[in-house]
A and B are shown apart, each in its own frame.
Chain A
Amino acid sequence: MNAIEIKNLSKTYGEFKLDDLSLCLPQGCIMGLVGENGAGKSTTIKLILDMIQRDSGTISVLGRDNKDNFRLTKEDIGVVLDSVGFPECLNARQLNRIMKSSYKNWDEAQFFGYLNKLNVPDGKAFKEFSRGMKMKLGIAAAMSHGARLLILDEATSGLDPVARDEVLDMFSEFTRDEKNSVLISSHIVSDLEKICDYIAFIHRGRLMLCEEKDVLLEEYGIVNCRPEELGRIPEGAVIGRRESAYGVRAIVRRCAALGMQISPVTLEELFVFMVKEA
């Protein structure tokens, strides 16, 4: 079963259009949603959560259409939104009581365990929290009610490198149970490279690619050469290029650049080059 299955999804917001997006997140996997600001990542997440109305297409979450009694499905979804969303005057103990009254499977011990692990104080009002601290709290709440799917919108932004590493480990640990899946959007592509099985890249409302991370990294590489050397590679195999006085640095399909010296590419380089070429 796919944890998320989106087919031909479209949504228009004034001048912005999310255009005919289709993707699948298989159960047990982590998918990273990458794109620039305003590319359509948050819109996609809001559509999955049925917070906004789609113009066309279908969305199935944990095997059920998200228009079909979605309230019940949401018991199995842990969500961290970009704005986190907890009222500023509350503290973690009060939040625990609210969550306990909201989720059937709320696990109080697990929640306080996560707070302890992430060094989040439980008696302090959220207005005194840094953005990173609020994010940690949101992550702890999302992972404390037996969710089968985590939907995380920029959940690692604002976290220091140590906390980010710890949180990424928590997400990886979460998907060790093959029934659990994660959809995570982030600008920090290096985070996604660490934990994701699949990468979906959205650019100006269109899905540019959705592929297994390992396949992407195996398929593409970087060549540093002279312009005339690059000219020998078929145009369709060159994903992006950057020219300087010293030569050309380009991302190419490895199979089209046989005989040339190719170095490994990172996801970040791949996306930056793709955006600039698009």
Chain B
Amino acid sequence: MKGLLLKDYYMTVKYCRMLILMVLIFAAVSAVSNSIFLISYPFIIAGVLPVSLYAYDEKSGWCSYADAMPYSRAQQVSAKYISALVFICLVMLICTVGKALTGDSFIEDFSLLVMLCGTGLLSAAVLLPFVLKFGSEKGRWAYYAVIIIACVIAAAVFDTGSAVASELTGTAAACILAGCVLLFGLSWLLSIKIYEKREL
């Protein structure tokens, strides 16, 4: 699967520069302004980045080519989920460094970190099965729906979310994270099943 991940890395660097720039800007602004809405956005982008990569794969015909290479369908799907995890971890790292530079620390606010990671994981978990089933053209409606719903939730909940996040106990936050990870895992398995039946 290393070849598929390497290909995604090259494509991310080439095609997703603007998205990476947006992640950095949002992370920097949120570190200064302490806005949870702004800081949640890079996590959502990290979750949906593999969907953009898949759209490029479809456009170039890579989906069919990769299927002729010595990769199973499960590996082709897994590459996208692993990419999502890597992107979310990178955003987490960038935001943590940003916070640390402004004197704040995510480590002190474990609950907030959990909610942000959960947002990224859920974005990928919801979108990828749709896109892998219907293709990026039809799946983009799910893409828009996730972005809009995530932004509405972030705006509605997270504006008062500092209090919500800080009131969460460590156990509750860990349960939320476990739930998100579970949904991400189920989505991963579902996508493999879907993609194994897809005609390329």
Contact = CB atoms under 8 A, between A and B. Distances in A.
Interface size class of A (residues with CB under 8 A): 20 to 34
A103 B57 CA distance: 20
B62 A51 contact: no
Interface stretch (A21-29, A73-81, A154-162, A258-266): A73-81
Nearest to A51: B200
Given A81-B61, A83-B61, A49 B7 contact: no
Contacts of A75: 70
Contacts of A104: 70
A103 B68 CA distance: 12
Contacts of A52: 199-200
A210 B175 CA distance: 64
A71 B62 contact: no
Given A77-B68, A81-B64, A102-B70, A87 B200 contact: no
A97 B63 CA distance: 18
A102 B15 contact: no
A137 B6 CA distance: 19
A94 B62 CA distance: 15
Contact of B64 (A77, A85, A100): A85
A86 interface: yes
B197 A86 contact: no
B54 to A, nearest CB: 12
A81 B64 CA distance: 8
Contacts of B72: 71
A51 B64 contact: yes
Contacts of A100: 3
A88 B11 CA distance: 9
Contact of A74 (B2, B6, B15, B70): B70
A86 B56 CA distance: 10
Contacts of B57: 87
Nearest to A87: B60
Interface in B166-189: none
B67 to A, nearest CB: 5
A84 B70 contact: no
Contacts of A56: none
A22 B11 CA distance: 41
A79 B15 contact: no
Interface of B: 2-4, 6-7, 10-11, 14-15, 56-57, 60-72, 75, 197, 199-200
21 contacts: A49-B67, A51-B64, A52-B200, A53-B199, A71-B72, A71-B75, A74-B68, A79-B65, A81-B64, A84-B65, A85-B60, A85-B63, A85-B65, A86-B65, A87-B10, A87-B11, A89-B15, A94-B10, A99-B3, A100-B3, A102-B3
